[in-house]
Amino acid sequence: MQLTADNLTDLSQHAISAAKEAGALIESYASKTVDAEHKSGGDSPASQVVTEVDLLCDALITKRLIPTCEEYDLALLTEETEDDKARLHKHAFWCLDPLDGTLSFVQSIHGYSVSIALVAQSGEPLIGVIYDPVTQTLYHAVKGQGVFRNGEPWTLSPISNESKTLSVIVDLGCLKISCYQELSKGMEAVAIKHGCKGVHVFEQNGAALNACWVLENSPASYVKCPKPNKGGGSVWDFSASAAIFNEIGAIASDVHGQALDLNRSDSTFMNHRGVIFAIDKSLAEDIQGLISRNSES
């Protein structure tokens, strides 16, 4: 079936309600000791950790969204359940990370959130909902209907880069990797080109809030370099934020400037082409150029 604007509005409200409910559950555990267990995933610690809170949130959100799958003939993909590949055959699918930034949550570091997206079979994100349970901040976007922060329309404000520092966010532990070290060196020239007084490259965990941080603290970018081994985040890490970036007029792309491949048939990992979230096209292109030159050298 073809989803209408009214359908998307209805579905976004279901996602918002589920995200807030899951966020409240997460915060009810925030002051408790939560045991982390190992799971199979990518090659980074962040992708290999799971807690009972992840699983409880997964069950909660799934229960809330299953009726919409039946009503609108949708598939459902979550981080904590096996990919049944139904996403490849339905016209759209829910793509959710019930507790994005589990490592941050376990370490009691701000950076974790609930991330829910609706993605078309083509890989285009249609709805993005990200809820920060610590600050109780809700970001959401619906294709063609705008972006909202705590229910209020949210647009990018003009930014004067003079006297500002250009910020580049990478995931925790990435600055030990050569690609990111070379990127850090090259960003000094990029900062000057964009009229900034300098560059600050730093690490923080939680892909969904990392992307939101870019919009909240411009001029900024969030970068995941491509790599040969599986990892680099998964589609559920970037689908909701991609919906928000697309709708607000910022850039969510791979390191070649192409739209994010959010419905890969062969994998849910994003290591094959990397990820760039940037406040504008010019900054994204300069980062693409740096990564391209480093990969060729």
Classify 5-153 by CATH class. alpha beta
pTM value is 0.94
Specify which residues 138 forms β-bridges with: 131
Element (H, E) at 209: helix 207-216
CATH code of domain 165-296: 3.40.190.80
Give me the residue spans of the domains in the chain. 5-153, 165-296
Let me know: does 128 contact 148? Beta carbons within 8 Å.
no
**Helical (H) or strand (E) element with 248:** helix 235-248
What single letter denotes the amino acid at residue 91?
H
Residues 34, 36, 42, CA angle at the centre, nearest 5°? 145
pLDDT in single tens digits along all 297 residues of the chain: 789 999 999 999 999 999 999 999 999 998 887 776 765 565 555 555 779 999 999 999 999 999 999 999 999 999 989 999 999 999 999 999 999 999 899 889 999 999 999 999 999 999 999 999 999 999 999 999 999 999 999 998 777 666 689 999 999 889 999 999 999 999 999 999 999 999 999 999 899 999 999 999 999 999 999 988 888 899 999 999 999 999 999 999 999 999 999 999 999 999 999 999 999 999 999 999 999 987 765
Does this chain's domain 5-153 share its CATH topology with 165-296? Answer: no
CB 127 within 8 A of CB 96: no
